[in-house]
Amino acid sequence: MLKIKNLHARIDEVEILKGINLEIKAGEVHAIMGPNGSGKSTLSSVIAGREDYEITEGSIEFSGEDIMELSPEERAHMGLFLSFQYPVEIPGVSVTNFLKTAINESRKGRGLEPMPAKDMLKKMREKMAMLEMDKSFMSRAINEGFSGGEKKRNEIFQMAMLEPKLAILDETDSGLDIDALRVVASGVNKLRNENNAILVITHYQRLLDHIIPDKVHVLQGGKIVRSGDKNLALELESKGYDWLKHEPAI
Amino acid sequence: MDQFKDKLLSSFIVFENQLNGQKNKPFHQLRRSAIDTFETKGFPTVRDEEWKYTNLKPLFKKDYNVFHSSEESLEFRDIRRYFLSESDTYKIVFINGFFASWLSSTTHQNYDVCTFSSALEKYQDIIDEYAGTIARNEDSLTALNTSFAREGAFIHIPDGKVVDRPIEIIFFTTDGDNNTFIQPRNLVVVGQNSQCNIVERHQSLGNQHTVSNCVTEVLAKKGAQVTYHKIQNDAPNASLIDSTTVKQEKDSTVTLHTFSFGGKLTRNNLEFDLVEPGAQANLYGISILNDYQLVDNHTVVNHISPHCESNELYKGIFDDHARGVFNGKVHVFPHAQKTNAFQENNNLLLTDTASIDTKPQLEIYADDVKCSHGCTIGQLDEDALFYLRQRGIPHKEAQALLMFAFTTDALRGLKIGELKNKLNRLIARKLSVNIDFDL
């Protein structure tokens, strides 16, 4: 589904990613863990196509296609979704109107007709119920005045609505209390199937108690320094990142 | 400019001779003194502080026809798109300055929605009591309008009446071969505790240069509620100088929306006099301009009486070489204690060649007041743009959505459903996207 080879990326002349290799197959959940400043968020932005970053080397393939030259919206239309660490507040655009535009533009991008309003509304209600969200969300301006937890829940709600092939969850657990974490994680788990994949980016292990990863990678200094199964996350939690400080890239 | 000024001065004599019996009425005295004012002052120039950023010289260097012929071939179906509704509004429609009765829908039941010319004949007492008492006669362009004032909209709502549907005032110009200069004159008198909604539009249907020098006087009596919408989306060669003066009595509320989406040069002079306690004035403006278009919003709110409130919010989006001017003056008179005056002007510049000159001016001579003002100039938020694009919304549509979002707080309080839909479509077209903004 996602194949990253020897990816180097920089911003303002500073190299942040220094040769990332990562392959995620359909049906898998991968986690990338790493200390602050290791390049986790850069990696998610680069995969999603943020233009501030310059890719100096390497390749990114998604669904068997080279996506390096594609715009963020084209990548989204292919089924790539990024749950933002800091979702942006957009006063004046309601959640409903935003989603309606996003879904129909994505459908247009794939050559499909707009979704009938009735179906859209029904789906919104279902997904909101799944994430235990209040209906009043629908008419609120997107992320405006939302608490940290509400913003993250709203990201997963959008993921549920857009049904991506690959969802990257960037620090989705930050700002969530235990109950919200449980609801969000159970929402994500319900969305998992053999045809999609999830990349969880996190600093802490606690989200991985709920969303069990097939593989865990440790990112440090712009490189993946170790990969393993879910036990690697537990090991990291007890030993700290310093444990792998001097690990060479793999 | 001098040539056209001379033409206007000599045209006045011709005009006067067409007036017949009207020449002996008191209103004509006003015209006479107004032409003197214009003769003395002439067109304003950039040396005049109020016209520092907007140069009228290129506009009035050209020659314009001052007298026009009526155009009777225009049919409603050809111009349907400029109206809110076919049947659910009152309409006062003019073509080249002449009243177009077949396109209009006026009334004299309960209230008068008709023309200024018929009011000059039939409602002379109201004309004598109000016409020319609210406008700024010392202003040279207002004086020029007054000196030729004969036609425009006349709306008179007696006390205690709620006008049951919106009133549309539209001025069309059609002169295919000639540059056209028209000077509509409107008078709106809204009685105690009465309510009305007005939508005004100027629309050139030809390619030649058109200049409208329009003057509107609005009186809101005690407890009256008036909402006035100005839709400015004219042709590339059409210019508008609009001077609207509003006088508000006790506990009245007047909300004035200005939507500037097109036209070569648009100058809005809005002046509010809050003369009795409890009056509230709301001025909301949205400008979305591109190409070489210019909009100049000059507002003055005079807090003459205590316990009044004014809210002013202007949003501008300027693309290409478009230019904006915002000059907002709030004048709090010495006895106007407990004044609340709020003013804000926010702008987005989309190119390096677009520009805005913004100048808030507060003159406060009372000591127990709450006044605030602020202005911002910025670009679209890149993080927000990326967020929208990541969700599959293409670049242009994402920009449009953010621009629309930027304007929405100046759209609040719009009550006419059909107007919301129309603005929604106009804004989408202006931003060249096909999305439903959902006001």
DSSP letter for each residue of A155-203:
HHHHHHHH--SEEEEESTTTT--HHHHHHHHHHHHHH--TT-EEEEEES
Residue B405 sits in the same domain as residue B371: no
What is the C-alpha to C-alpha distance for residues B289 and B173, in angstroms, rounded to an integer? 22
Q: CB of A83 within 8 A of CB of B391?
A: no
8 Å CB contact of B387 and A88:
yes
**Domain boundary residue, one of B359, B379, B399:** B379
Residue A247 has pLDDT above 80, yes or no: no
**Which residues does chain B have within 8 Å of residue A105's beta carbon, measured at their own beta carbons?**
392-394, 397
What is the C-alpha to C-alpha distance for residues B261 and B233, in angstroms, rounded to an integer? 5
B404, closest residue in chain A (CA to CA): A92
What is the C-alpha to C-alpha distance for residues B5 and B82, in angstroms, rounded to an integer? 32
Copy the structure tokens of residue B40.
């003395």
Angle at which helices A95-109 and A148-162 cross, to 10°: 30
How far is the alpha carbon of B399 from chain A, nearest alpha carbon, in Å? 12
**Domain boundary residue, one of B332, B352, B379:** B379
Q: Spell out the residues 6+ positions from residue A184 whose beta carbon is closer than 8 angstroms to its own.
A: A131, A152, A153, A156, A172, A173, A176
**Which residues does chain A have within 8 Å of residue B381's beta carbon, measured at their own beta carbons?**
88
What number of C-beta contacts closer than 8 Å exist between A and B? 84
Q: Which of A85, A88, A170 to mutate to test the interface with B (most CBs of B within 10 A)?
A: A88
Residue B62 sits in the same domain as residue B142: yes
**Which residues does chain B have within 8 Å of residue A77's beta carbon, measured at their own beta carbons?**
392
Q: Read off the pLDDT of residues A56-99 as tens digits, 9 standing for 90 and up.
A: 999 999 999 999 999 999 999 999 999 999 999 988 888 998 99
What is the C-alpha to C-alpha distance for residues A18 and A16, in angstroms, rounded to an integer? 6
Residue B426 sits in the same domain as residue B281: no
Q: In what order do the strands lie in the sheet with B253-262?
A: B98-99, B90-95, B167-173, B195-204, B225-233, B253-262, B280-289, B309-318, B340-349, B370-378
Report the residue from B387, B395, B406 with minimal CB separation from A92. Answer: B406
Q: Side chain identity at B250, as an amino acid letter?
A: K
**Which residues does chain A have within 8 Å of residue B439's beta carbon, measured at their own beta carbons?**
none
What is the C-alpha to C-alpha distance for residues A246 and B28, in angstroms, rounded to an integer? 94
Q: Read off the pLDDT of residues A109-126 as tens digits, 9 standing for 90 and up.
A: 889 999 999 999 999 999
Q: Which of B260, B364, B374 is nearest to B313 (CA)?
A: B374
How far is the alpha carbon of B404 from chain A, nearest alpha carbon, in Å? 8
Report the residue from B391, B405, B438 with minimal CB separation from A76. Answer: B391
Domain that holds residue B423: 381-439
Residue B225 sits in the same domain as residue B289: yes
Cα end-to-end distance, chain A, whole Å:
21
| pLDDT over 90 percentage in chain B | 85
Residue B334 sits in the same domain as residue B287: yes
Alpha-carbon distance values, A30 to A20, A79, A202, B43, B168 (Å): 14, 17, 11, 73, 62
Cα Rg of chain B (Å, integer):
21
pLDDT of res. A240:
80
pLDDT of res. A250:
67
- Residues 396 through 415 of chain B touching chain A, CB cutoff 8 Å: 397-398, 401-402, 404-409
Residue B22 sits in the same domain as residue B92: yes
How far is the alpha carbon of A46 from chain B, nearest alpha carbon, in Å? 12
**Which residues does chain B have within 8 Å of residue A101's beta carbon, measured at their own beta carbons?**
393, 397, 401, 435
Q: Read off the pLDDT of residues A1-51 as tens digits, 9 standing for 90 and up.
A: 999 999 999 998 899 999 999 999 999 999 999 888 889 999 999 999 999
Residue B332 sits in the same domain as residue B430: no
Over residues B27-53, the mean pLDDT reads 95
Q: Side chain identity at B70, as an amino acid letter?
A: S
Q: Taking the alpha carbons of B172, B177, B179, B181 in that order, is the dihedral positive or negative?
A: negative
Task: Say how many residues make up chain A.
Answer: 250
Give chain B's mean pLDDT: 94
Comparing B20-34, B108-122, B178-192, which segment has the lowest mean pLDDT? B20-34
pLDDT of res. B306:
98
What is the C-alpha to C-alpha distance for residues B270 and B328, in angstroms, rounded to an integer? 9
Copy the structure tokens of residue A181.
């974490």
Q: Which CATH superfamily is domain A2-9+20-44+60-179+189-244 in?
A: P-loop containing nucleotide triphosphate hydrolases (3.40.50.300)
Over residues B108-121, the mean pLDDT reads 96
Copy the structure tokens of residue B155.
């709306």
Residue B389 sits in the same domain as residue B309: no
Alpha-carbon distance values, A112 to A106, A116, B113, B326, B392 (Å): 8, 12, 50, 45, 14
**Which residues does chain B have within 8 Å of residue A73's beta carbon, measured at their own beta carbons?**
389-390, 392-395, 398
Angle at which helices B395-407 and B382-390 cross, to 10°: 120
**Which residues does chain A have within 8 Å of residue B428's beta carbon, measured at their own beta carbons?**
none
B65: DSSP letter: B
Over residues A196-200, the mean pLDDT reads 95
Report the residue from A75, A90, A97 with minimal CB separation from B438. Answer: A97
Residue B335 sits in the same domain as residue B397: no
Q: Taking the alpha carbons of B314, B318, B321, B322 in that order, is the dihedral positive or negative?
A: negative
Q: Does B207 touch chain A (CB under 8 A)?
A: no
Residue B185 sits in the same domain as residue B275: yes
Residue B201 has pLDDT above 80, yes or no: yes
Q: Read off the pLDDT of residues B128-140 as tens digits, 9 standing for 90 and up.
A: 999 999 999 999 9
Angle at B439 between CA A107 and CA B425, to 5 degrees: 70
Angle at which helices B417-430 and B395-407 cross, to 10°: 140
What is the C-alpha to C-alpha distance for residues B167 and B155, in angstroms, rounded to an integer? 9
Q: Structural domain tally of chain B?
A: 2
Domain boundaries, chain A: 2-9+20-44+60-179+189-244
Q: Which of B425, B427, B421, B431 is nearest to B394 (CA)?
A: B431
Report the residue from A49, A52, A158 with minimal CB separation from B391. Answer: A158
Residue B411 sits in the same domain as residue B267: no
What is the C-alpha to C-alpha distance for residues B206 and B183, in angstroms, rounded to an integer? 17
Q: Read off the pLDDT of residues B334-357 as tens digits, 9 standing for 90 and up.
A: 999 999 999 999 999 999 999 999
Q: CB of B294 within 8 A of CB of B323?
A: yes
| pLDDT over 70 percentage in chain B | 99
Q: CB of B311 within 8 A of CB of B283?
A: yes
Q: Which of B349, B369, B367, B365 is nearest to B357 (CA)?
A: B349
8 Å CB contact of A102 and B391:
yes
Cα Rg of chain A (Å, integer):
18
Residue B76 sits in the same domain as residue B100: yes
Residue B439 has pLDDT above 60, yes or no: no
8 Å CB contact of B389 and A105:
no
What is the C-alpha to C-alpha distance for residues B143 and B154, in angstroms, rounded to an integer? 19
**Which residues does chain B have within 8 Å of residue A78's beta carbon, measured at their own beta carbons?**
none
Q: Alpha helices, DSSP H only, in chain A?
A: 40-48, 72-77, 95-109, 117-130, 148-162, 178-191, 230-239
**Which residues does chain A have within 8 Å of residue B394's beta carbon, measured at their own beta carbons?**
71, 73, 105, 109
Report the residue from A88, A101, A103 with minimal CB separation from B401. Answer: A101
Q: Read off the pLDDT of residues B213-270 as tens digits, 9 standing for 90 and up.
A: 999 999 999 999 999 999 999 999 999 999 999 999 999 999 999 999 999 999 999 9
Cα end-to-end distance, chain B, whole Å:
43
pLDDT band at A249 (very low <50, low <70, confident <90, very high): low
Over residues B404-430, the mean pLDDT reads 86
**Domain boundary residue, one of B334, B357, B379:** B379
pLDDT band at B37 (very low <50, low <70, confident <90, very high): very high
Report the residue from A82, A97, A101 with minimal CB separation from B390. Answer: A82
**Which residues does chain B have within 8 Å of residue A84's beta carbon, measured at their own beta carbons?**
387, 390
B281: DSSP letter: E
pLDDT band at B362 (very low <50, low <70, confident <90, very high): very high
pLDDT of res. B229:
97
Q: Read off the pLDDT of residues B4-18 as tens digits, 9 standing for 90 and up.
A: 999 999 999 999 999
Q: Alpha helices, DSSP H only, in B61-103?
A: 76-79
Q: CB of A102 within 8 A of CB of B392?
A: yes
How far is the alpha carbon of A56 from chain B, nearest alpha carbon, in Å? 21
Copy the structure tokens of residue B85.
């509704």
Over residues A184-188, the mean pLDDT reads 90
8 Å CB contact of B437 and A97:
yes
